[in-house]
Amino acid sequence: MIRQLVPTRVDPSTAGRDFWNRYHELRRLRHKELRPDDPLEPDDVAEKYMKKPNPFDFQHYYEISREGVMLSWLHGESVAPANPEYQTNKHLLWADAYVRIEERRQGIASLWLPLIARLMDELGSTVVGMHTDQPSGHAFLAWLGGKPKLTDIESRLRMSEVDWPMLERWADEGARRSPQTKLEVYDGRLPDAMLPQFAAQRSALLNTIPFENLDIGDIVVTPEKIRHYYEVTALTGEVPHEVLTRESDGSISGMTDVSWYPYRRTMLEQQFTGVRPDARGRGLGKWIKAAMLLHVHELYPDAEWVVTENAESNAPMLKINRTMGFKPYRTAIEYQATREQLESRIRSV
């Protein structure tokens, strides 16, 4: 029976309502199993995001269904030639799959392996990456031959437990220790004229993130990619907020950003925080994170949680977050396997 199931490619831009109905049904089941405490992304938001063309990354969508019921879903992502990261990341394919609970342990997940191999061959990829925070996922990826490359910790901060006087002290101390440094706060889109400088500094800071043993190429942010991101936020309702520090010469020395979504009003997502290596040791990281939290607390008084993620090896940022009151919530591991390892497992099935 399983051998009769065939993975089918999905084009969100032309998919009919029958597809969306079975996709959203499986998406809700997955959310109930894996993220029951979090708000569910509305159907229309998920559809808008998937239908939006992305000139910088290829999106690969596939389903395995039987009699109108989706049993499994796979989403792959790879860089497109228009992406400035293409030369150093074109060997990578990132994949994510889910099998509904009652259909597991029948070999459905293994049906994705030949498809992933074909995708890798078509794209010229030599490494596939997958992540999981579930015991079943760890077992499957170990069976596949994947090697754990990066441990990622999701932490959460309960707003009612924040030491607000401490954050006010951090903000005051940051300003006092760097009197020539200016703090800037932006809600929504950054000014377009600012994007070239911001993109260049963000690229430099992102490439200082510890990725442990993960095979990953250069991270390159451009004004064009930021504008595309803003087009997506306009569709999904996401509201970005940016706090940065600027030195007396006009250069950006630190930045942190938070996102708010109308469908998850009680939760804020703390995204990237980075301080230029030559500007560290002055408390800029604590200053911008404190200033941001104080700012969004005023903007969103009904927010109850702040969610963030950090590599387990990112000790400096984890130390700041723990001091702020962030507590570990879940741990995920990023696995990677070579095309050869994948082929070996395919032959054994």
Which two structure tokens, joined as six digits, stand for 135?
A: 């015991």
Instruction: Give the pLDDT score at 161.
Output: 97
Q: How far is CA 21 from the centre of its chain?
A: 25
Which two structure tokens, joined as six digits, stand for 248?
A: 């007396």
Mean pLDDT calculated for residue range 191-207: 98
Question: Residue 108 CB: number of other CB atoms within 10 A?
Answer: 19
Distance CA(198)–CA(190), nearest Å, equals 9
Q: Is residue 212's pLDDT more than 70?
A: yes
CATH of 2-125, one of 3.40.190.10, 3.30.379.10, 3.40.1190.10, 3.40.630.30: 3.40.630.30
Mean pLDDT calculated for residue range 210-230: 98
Question: Residue 270 CB: number of other CB atoms within 10 A?
Answer: 24
Q: What is the pTM of this model?
A: 0.95
Long-range contacts from 12-16, C-beta under 8 angstroms, 24+ separation:
12/47, 12/50, 12/51, 12/61, 13/51, 13/53
Distance CA(333)–CA(312), nearest Å, equals 10
**Which segments within the chain are labelled E, that is strand?**
8-10, 57-66, 69-79, 92-99, 127-132, 147-158, 182-187, 239-246, 252-260, 267-275, 305-311, 327-338
Residue 349's pLDDT band (cuts 50, 70, 90): confident
Q: Is residue 1's pLDDT more than 80?
A: no
Mean pLDDT calculated for residue range 95-115: 95
- Give percent above pLDDT 90 in the chain: 97
| Radius of gyration (C-alpha) of the chain in whole angstroms | 22
Mean pLDDT calculated for residue range 262-278: 96
Q: CA torsion, points 59, 65, 68, 70, in degrees to nearest 10?
A: -70
Identify whether the C-beta of residue 327 lies closer than 8 Å to the C-beta of residue 159: no
Strand order of the β-sheet with 69-79 is 8-10, 57-66, 69-79, 92-99, 127-132, 327-338, 147-158, 305-311, 267-275, 252-260, 239-246, 182-187
Instruction: Give the pLDDT score at 245.
Output: 98
Instruction: Give the pLDDT score at 4.
Output: 84
* Coil vs helix vs strand at 240: strand
> Mean pLDDT of all residues in the chain?
96
Q: Where are the domains of the chain?
A: 2-125, 154-333
Mean pLDDT calculated for residue range 165-172: 98
* Coil vs helix vs strand at 169: helix
pLDDT single digits (tens) 276-330: 999 999 999 999 999 999 999 999 999 999 999 999 999 999 999 999 999 999 9
Which two structure tokens, joined as six digits, stand for 185?
A: 């706060």
pLDDT single digits (tens) 67-95: 999 999 999 999 999 999 999 999 999 99
Instruction: Give the pLDDT score at 191.
Output: 98
Residues 6+ apart with CB under 8 A from 27: 46, 73
Q: Is residue 22's pLDDT more than 80?
A: yes
Residue 243's pLDDT band (cuts 50, 70, 90): very high
Residue 270's pLDDT band (cuts 50, 70, 90): very high
pLDDT single digits (tens) 125-150: 999 999 999 999 999 999 999 999 99
Distance CA(246)–CA(249), nearest Å, equals 8
Identify whether the C-beta of residue 243 lies closer than 8 Å to the C-beta of residue 288: yes
Question: Residue 248 CB: number of other CB atoms within 10 A?
Answer: 10
- Give percent above pLDDT 70 in the chain: 99
Residues linked to residue 252 through DSSP beta bridges, in sequence order:
246
Distance CA(266)–CA(307), nearest Å, equals 11
b/e code 209-228 from CB counts within 10 Å (16+ = b):
eeeeebbbeebbbbbebbeb
Residues 6+ apart with CB under 8 A from 255: 198, 201, 202, 205, 242, 243, 244, 245, 272, 273, 274, 288
* Coil vs helix vs strand at 278: helix
What dotted CATH number matches 154-333? 3.40.630.30
